[in-house]
Structure 1
Amino acid sequence: MTPLTIAIGGDHAGLPLKTVLQQALVDAGYSLIDVGTNSADSVDYPDFAHRVAETVEAGQARFGVLVCGTGIGVQIAANRHAAIRAAVLHSTTEARLTRAHNDANIACFGARTTGPEVALDALRAFLDTEFEGGRHARRLAKLAPNG
């Protein structure tokens, strides 16, 4: 079986948490596309959010993971892409519900607001939860550009 591919990226503030999440994904057998940053030098979060979003939109990765200081900036940037539904996650409940009800395809985390264990648990829940469809599919269709 081919491993599921995940695109991962973040800015300098997110790098410590990105590194933890990245290693956990590798250890779990996922294939990764790392779009950076891999340095503590100051960078602009939208650059990395757009790269992850473009990778998911193009079908090169099924899901994306983004990390910045709060998760908010990367979420805003990623959601500028029509095929992207990015959500900042602080708990397993949010992770499960955003997948089950919103079919989110990018998980965003704040390295300054969410600890590594909480982020790891939320990421596992995000990746393990299927979209429920049904009434949620109707609502999701209304989010499309011409919805």
Structure 2
Amino acid sequence: MIHTDRNLLLAAIPKIRAKLAEYHLRINEKKFYLQHYRKGVEFTGAVVKPHRAYACNRSINNFAGAVAKLNRAKNIEEIEKAVSSVNSYIGLLRHYHEYKTRRRIVNRIKPGIMEYLDIKGDYRSIVVKKQYRPRAQTLERIRNGDY
């Protein structure tokens, strides 16, 4: 719950506990705390503050981990799978105006991997170049009579 009046929140706690007790539920005391609303609330991969939202550090670190996994890919199938994960984080960060963060982390992709990839738009997504996609390779083999 978010409110500017601390006393209103404190007064609501017994009512919330009573209502939860009707459903045989309770508030986990270790996860219950009050903090000033200006510090923000972590919600769905972001820290929501008055009038703005930022991607939380955990989401940014997971994005960097997805890029690191992409850098370790050994074949095109692993690259395609890792690109899907990277694009998921890029999409999340686009909601929070994190262009510099997207650019900084995407630029960590090794040049050897980047030869298989294209960056679309202003770091809006990453795609595997058409000639390296398995379907395109199969069609090329069929055209050349290799099948």
Same fold (TM over 0.5): no
Greater relative contact order, per chain length (Cα 8 Å cut-off, separation 6+): 1
TM-score, scaled to structure 1? 0.30
Q: Which has the larger radius of gyration?
A: 2
